[in-house]
Structure 1
Amino acid sequence: MARILAIDYGGKRCGIAVTDESQIIASGLTTVDTKSLLAWLIEYVSREEVELFVVGEPKRLHGEASESEKLIKPFLEKLNKVLPDIPVTRIDERFTSKMAFDTMLASGISKKKRRDKSLVDQISATIILQDYLYNQ
């Protein structure tokens, strides 16, 4: 079985999470500079078999698209052009950053590490991926 890779897309950096090959466990993988994301994905799928990309869909409280969706749509178009054989699905990512921060607090991560936004992005991507797996 191939992996599923989730992306918490951001203006500066993107959190990345991935499943195991059995698609049971979601784990934070890394954080990638947004400008390097496509190149990073191309390199990653050359080493690992990826079946699906799950990309967070930022929405406002009442369900309408947030401003950051304007950044994500062009990225998704480029992704579809360079890796057309890997489908993309979207998952509502409302509150994932807050949930990620709460997860860090609950797990006892130090205050210094909680300030590391790249860790928040990785955990957010993991939450997005877990949500996808749970609802399948």
Structure 2
Amino acid sequence: MGRILAIDFGKKRTGIAVTDELQIIASGLTTVATDDLLSFLQEYVRKEKVELFVIGEPKQMNNTESESEQYIQPFLTSLQQKFPNIPVERVDERFTSKMAFQTMIDSGLNKKQRRNKALVDEISATIILQSYLYNK
């Protein structure tokens, strides 16, 4: 079995989370500059077997596409061209940033630590991945 890698795509930064090889536990991996995302993924896939990409799907409250989807679509095209043998699934990412922030509060992080947007993105990717694992 390979890992499942989740991506919380952002214009500037992208949070990344992965499962263990048995696809049981979701863990935050890192946050990378979005401009470096494809090269980061190439390097990661070279070292680790990735079975599936799970990408957050931003939606409005009325279930329509969010504005950010316009930035994600070109990335999805590039991702599928670079990794044609790795399938992509989308997961509704509504509220993941709020859930990530609450997770930081519940974990006892102080205000300065909670302002770390890269950590919020990584935790959001983990929540997206946990949601996928729970619903698969």
Question: If the TM-score is normalised by the length of the shorter chain, which range does it land in?
Answer: over 0.9
SS where residue 101 of structure 1 aligns? helix
2: CA distance, partners of 1:32 / 1:88: 19
Question: What do residues 84-114 of structure 1 show as CA deviations (whole Å, max 9, x unaligned)?
Answer: 1000000000000000000100110111110
Q: Which amino acid aligns with 1:29?
A: L
Q: Give the distance between the partners of 2:79 and 2:35, measured in 1 at CA.
A: 13
Instruction: After the TM superposition, list the runs of 4 or more consecutive aligned residues in structure 1 that deviate by more than 2 angstroms.
Output: none
Gaps of 5+ in 1: none
In 1, distance between residues paired with 2:45 and 2:35?
A: 18
Q: How far apart in 2 are the matches of 1:52 and 1:116? A: 28
For residues 15 and 78 of structure 2, what CA distance do their matches in structure 1 show?
Answer: 18
Partner of 1:49: 49
Give deviations 1:27-83, integer Å, cap 9, x for gaps.
000001000000100110000000000000000111000000000000000000011
What is the CA–CA distance in structure 2 between the aligned matches of 1:82 and 1:106, rounded to whole Å?
38
**TM-score scaled by length of structure 1:** 0.99
Cα separation, 1, equivalents of 2:51 and 2:112: 36
Show the counterpart of 1:72: 72
AA paired with 1:76? L
Residue segments in structure 2 that go unaligned for 5+ positions in a row:
none
Q: How far apart in 2 are the matches of 1:132 and 1:77?
A: 21
Q: CA deviation at 1:15?
A: 0.2
Instruction: Tell me, yes or no, if structure 1 residue 126 matches structure 2 residue 126.
Output: yes
* Secondary structure, counterpart of 1:17 in structure 2: strand
Which residue in the other structure is 1:15 paired with?
15
Deviation at 1:18, TM superposition (A): 0.2
Instruction: Give the letter for the 2:8 counterpart.
Output: D
* Pairing 1:58–2:55 present: no
